[in-house]
């Protein structure tokens, strides 16, 4: 099980209100106690923070706000001593616009080698219009026009994310070689894996043809077919190249991709034997709280991955999505990506019940699971952040129509009864304000309460480690609205998505439930049994 550490919001070790490497290091014991196997840490590189660190200006260093390379070495040593592996986040589709390469490209002439590392093109309509119709994941066009050295409006450059994140051209040998070195730099330092950010973006159809997007298109990459800027087949060359590098290292080094693509067959291509080891499963994350939909995703995922021999992964939340306690409390419980969910009323008590049941479902499925920090505390999305506190580029780029992803990034509550709840030293304001109501959700408040969400996760992770290995999944039929399956003879999982209680009599010995310990499993509850 891999735990996503959103570094800015995990723990502040230096007292500036921003999470950092020393803060993470000071809380490793919590993660070991929870039963985590590995951490994926979001970017710590020097960055102007136009997109929370996913805009990197120097790939072989640590931003002073997050710490130093020495802090990272100490973190790695401590994590490894506790049996925790560490995965770094590599943002290779784009650099920051402050990266020396992009500055050099701006200062160079059209057609220069400096510009071939990115996508600089002349505009259409005499230069006035963007070169094509591609769109940015954060809203608006994917092109920004530059001023040339003579001060006149000039070429346009491509950015599938924010304008401060110019896309690299992966056909450029400079780009390929530079990233070979960066991958080696971190593997040499002892990291156990690399998360490949925005993986499907890293190849474009030559000549950059129009995608045919309708005028108000949003970035619906899970629906796109033959899109010229997403999931283009040439992208797999990059992963083969990195895999060849990774395979020269001792020990197990893992590559995992972030890939929101159209269906499990396209996704399975990322994890062919000579490419990445695993990939996040966004179909599962986006599925609504509905037995048929979830079962279809589970079956589709396992069927598509079997031929390539890669393990499945399961994920319910991340730093890019509405927290699933809130999502599952809404009438429409599926997720949109990148914080474009429409705000809708949420029944948080219902959402929490379902989230706890979903945790048992997720942790019982074959393969790996990714947890997002704070889900083990049952944190909801913070939907009432003041507008002036919002920092996600989505807010500005959507013309203040989508609030973006800040609501799932609010710093963790560790202890105490008022903000900053042990996230930072008392009296320090965290970079996003925490709700006062989180006093009952702190790690400290939940630690010794056997009915808390933290205890549920801890118990489930311990059992999972004890009981589960490679056993295949076999479905049981307990009715249409009930997900029930065995993992060999080791574990039976029953998840009640119906409106009626499900009798557990005769199904085995109950080991753990997400709520209620009666013989009948209440709606929106899950149980693990020894069959």
- Residue numbers at the binding site for ligand GLC (CB under 6 A): 51, 54, 91, 161, 197-198, 258, 319-320
**Upper half-sphere CA count for residue 485 (Cβ side, 13 Å):** 19
CB of 54 to ligand GLC, least distance (A): 3
Nearest residue (CB) to ligand GLC, 79 versus 259: 259
Cβ contact 495:357 at 8 Å: yes
CB of 51 to ligand GLC, least distance (A): 5
C-alpha distances out from residue 233 to 270, 291, 308, Å:
10, 33, 17
CB of 341 to ligand GLC, least distance (A): 15
d(CA 119, CA 116): 7
The pairing of beta strand 473-476 with beta strand 85-90? unpaired
Q: Which helix (H) or strand (E) holds 4?
A: strand 2-5
d(CA 6, CA 29): 17
Closest CA to 144 of 165, 175, 171, 115: 165
Which residue's beta carbon is nearest to the bound ligand GLC? Answer: 54
Nearest residue (CB) to ligand GLC, 137 versus 497: 137
Nearest residue (CB) to ligand GLC, 353 versus 397: 397
Nearest residue (CB) to ligand GLC, 197 versus 406: 197
Nearest residue (CB) to ligand GLC, 260 versus 502: 260
Q: Which helix (H) or strand (E) holds 188?
A: helix 173-188
Contacts of 500 (CB under 8 A, 6+ apart): 523
CB of 43 to ligand GLC, least distance (A): 8
Is the preceding omega at residue 420 within 30 degrees of 0, hence cis? yes
Nearest residue (CB) to ligand GLC, 53 versus 154: 53
CB of 224 to ligand GLC, least distance (A): 15
CB of 47 to ligand GLC, least distance (A): 11
Cβ contact 196:239 at 8 Å: yes
CB of 197 to ligand GLC, least distance (A): 5
User: How much of the chain is in helix, strand and coil states, percent to nearest 5?
Assistant: 30, 15, 55
Cβ contact 374:407 at 8 Å: no
Nearest residue (CB) to ligand GLC, 138 versus 314: 138
């Amino acid at each position: 099980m891999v735990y996503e550490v959103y570094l800015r919001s995990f723990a502040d070790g230096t007292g500036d209100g921003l999470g950092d490497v020393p803060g993470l290091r000071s809380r490793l014991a919590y993660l070991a106690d929870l039963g985590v196997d590995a951490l994926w840490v979001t970017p710590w590189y020097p960055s102007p923070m136009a997109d929370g660190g996913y805009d990197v200006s120097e790939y072989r260093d640590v931003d002073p706000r997050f710490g130093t390379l020495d802090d990272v070495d100490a973190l790695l040593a401590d994590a490894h001593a506790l049996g925790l592996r560490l995965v770094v986040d590599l943002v290779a589709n784009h650099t920051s616009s402050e990266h020396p390469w992009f500055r050099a490209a701006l200062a160079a002439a059209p057609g220069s080698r400096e510009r071939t590392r990115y996508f600089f093109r002349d505009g259409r309509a005499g230069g006035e219009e963007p070169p094509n119709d591609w769109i940015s994941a954060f809203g608006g066009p994917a092109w920004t026009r530059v001023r040339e050295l003579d001060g006149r409006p000039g070429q346009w450059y491509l950015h599938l994310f924010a304008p401060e994140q110019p896309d690299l051209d992966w056909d450029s040998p400079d780009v390929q070689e530079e990233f070979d070195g960066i991958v080696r730099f971190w593997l040499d330092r002892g990291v156990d894996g690399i998360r490949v950010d925005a993986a499907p973006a890293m190849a474009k159809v030559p000549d950059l043809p129009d995608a045919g997007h309708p005028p108000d298109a949003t970035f619906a990459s899970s629906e796109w077919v033959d899109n010229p800027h997403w999931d283009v087949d040439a992208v797999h060359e990059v992963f083969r190249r990195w895999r060849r590098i990774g395979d020269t290292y001792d020990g197990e080094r893992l590559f995992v991709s972030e890939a929101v693509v159209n269906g499990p067959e396209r996704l399975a291509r990322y994890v062919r034997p000579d490419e990445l080891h695993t990939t996040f499963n966004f179909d599962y994350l986006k599925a609504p709280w509905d037995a048929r939909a979830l079962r279809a995703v589970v079956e589709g995922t396992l069927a598509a991955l079997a031929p390539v021999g890669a393990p499945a992964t399961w994920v319910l939340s991340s730093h890019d999505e509405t927290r699933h306690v809130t999502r599952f409390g809404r009438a429409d419980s599926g997720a949109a990506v990148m914080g474009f969910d429409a705000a809708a009323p949420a029944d948080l008590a219902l959402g929490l019940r379902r989230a706890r049941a979903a945790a048992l479902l997720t942790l019982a499925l074959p393969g790996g699971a990714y947890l997002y920090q704070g889900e083990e505390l049952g944190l909801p999305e913070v939907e009432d952040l003041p507008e002036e506190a919002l920092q996600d580029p989505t807010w500005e780029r959507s013309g203040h129509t989508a609030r973006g992803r800040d609501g799932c990034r609010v710093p963790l509550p560790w202890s105490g009864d008022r903000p900053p709840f042990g996230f930072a030293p008392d009296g320090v304001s965290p970079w996003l304000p925490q709700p006062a109501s989180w006093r009952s959700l702190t790690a400290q408040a939940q630690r010794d309460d056997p009915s808390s969400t933290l205890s549920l996760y801890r118990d489930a992770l311990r059992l999972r480690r004890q009981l589960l290995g490679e056993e295949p999944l076999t479905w049981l039929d307990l009715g249409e609205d009930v997900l029930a399956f065995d993992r060999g003879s080791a574990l039976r999982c029953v998840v009640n998505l119906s409106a009626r209680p499900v009798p557990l009599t005769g199904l085995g010995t109950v080991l753990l439930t997400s709520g209620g310990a009666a013989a009948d499993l209440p709606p929106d509850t899950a149980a693990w049994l020894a069959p």
